[in-house]
Amino acid sequence: MQWSRIAVFASGQGSNFAALVEAQRAGRLGPGSIDLLVSDKPEAPVAQRAEEAGISTLLLRPKDFASRELYEAEIVAELQRREIGLIVLAGYMRLITPVLLTPYAGRIINIHPSLLPAFAGKDAIGQALDYGVKLTGVTVHFVDGGMDTGPVIAQRSVVVEDNDTAGSLAERIHMVEYGLYPEVVGALASGRIELDGRKTIIRHS
């Protein structure tokens, strides 16, 4: 297993996936190479983006399997066949079970559109607007068995403007995501991120 061989998991639009592919093309993912897109929604736009980018896809419907575990076992077999070392969740709308977590412990990351631990779970941008916070942002974190609870790797803040709608705030949050995620993935692929308990350290060279 090599850290540099990456599978991106996504369920939706895939704009973060596209930003990662673009970063790799521009030489901003270090040794990172996106070798596979995994999606639980074969009809999602991200699947088409991958095909257009010439990236292999694994498109499986969880409901075609008898259990979540069997669905994930099929994914793990394919990841291991391809010697994937790093799993990058980018809008993958499912909780991960130990079937995937155990062989990839410390090697799965996620991006979430809030400053965790605030506004975990679904619709983080709507939650932040409803709460009335003046500052929100983006978090990249390791994935554990919980919902957005793993150790934080990097965070960036985004100011909430008085006239923001969910759409306008999401747009600015996305722009921050497209910069931050490739940076973290590149650092991980280069072995520059250390994890000590819940604390992560990114070495900058």
Quick check: 85 binds ligand GRF (CB under 6 A)? no
Nearer of residues 26 and 66 to ligand GRF, judged by Cβ: 26
108 - beta bridge partners? 87
Stretch (H or E) spanning 199? strand 199-202
Among 112, 141, 174, 204, the one annotated catalytic: 112
Considering only residues 3, 6, 16, 142, which one is a binding residue for ligand GRF as defined by CB under 6 A? 16
160: alpha, beta or left? (left if phi > 0; alpha if psi -120 to 50): beta
Residue 204 catalytic?
no
Residue nearest to ligand GRF (CB): 91
Quick check: 108 binds ligand GRF (CB under 6 A)? no
Size of the site for ligand GRF (CB under 6 A): 12
Please state, as a whole number, how many other Cβ atoms lie within 10 Å of the Cβ of residue 163: 6
Quick check: 172 binds ligand GRF (CB under 6 A)? no
For the CA atoms of the chain, what is the radius of gyration?
16
Considering only residues 5, 112, 141, 172, which one is a binding residue for ligand GRF as defined by CB under 6 A? 112
Which pair of tokens denotes residue 196? 């000590």
Stretch (H or E) spanning 39? strand 33-39
CB 158 within 8 A of CB 119: no
CB of 48 to ligand GRF, least distance (A): 12
Catalytic residues: 112
Footprint on this chain of ligand GRF (rule: CB under 6 A): 10, 12-16, 90-91, 111-113, 177
